[in-house]
Amino acid sequence: MSMIETTRDVQNKLLLRREITCTFKGLAGKLKKLEAVDMIAKQFKLEGKVIVPIMLKNHTGRPMISGTFYVYDDEKLAREHVKPAIFKRLDKAKGGGENCGALPQCALPMVRYTQQRSTGTRPTALVERR
């Protein structure tokens, strides 16, 4: 008996990708996205293809996780269709995000409050880059 149960497996010909929705039984709270990608690649024999984990959802009160994955043949096509934030999170999970502090696009906005005006209005927030 497999721990992965396929809920939906659709070939999207318009976007040139395969969309797989699965249920992982008994892995609630233990499964990470990269581990789920490895399990999907082995289950469906998808070596050499780009698998993007879109969503992993835990079910309350049940030891199971539902996951949605997109399978592309080409990484360039995947990067065009999927939001860049998803790839940034995957790179960070793989260990490629250590140098994020040195890059200006990774800088988080810092909120600084100005002093209250004498007119009795609320303080305003200014957003600055670190």
Cβ distance 109 to 127 under 8 Å? yes
Q: What is the mean pLDDT of the chain?
A: 81
- Which residues have CB under 8 Å from 41's CB, separation 6+? 47, 49, 51
Of how many residues is the chain composed? 130
**Which pLDDT belongs to residue 95?**
84
Evaluate whether 26 touches 3 at the Cβ level (below 8 Å). Answer: yes
Strand partners, 17: 12
Task: Say which CATH topology domain 4-101 has.
Answer: Alpha-Beta Plaits (3.30.70)
Alpha-carbon dihedral 43, 46, 52, 57, rounded to 10 degrees? -10
Mean pLDDT in residue range 97-117: 46
Q: Which pLDDT score is estimated for 2? A: 74
The closest alpha carbon to 34, from 52, 49, 10, 21, belongs to 52
Which of the 8 DSSP states describes residue 82? S
What digits encode the pLDDT tens for the residues 36-53? 999 999 999 999 999 999
The pLDDT of residue 37: 93
Pairing status of strand 17-25 against strand 64-72 = antiparallel
Domain locations in the chain as residue ranges: 4-101
Other Cβ atoms less than 10 A from the Cβ of 6: the count is 13
Quote the radius of gyration of the chain (alpha carbons, Å): 21
Q: pLDDT per residue over 81-105, tens digit each?
A: 999 999 998 888 888 655 554 444 4
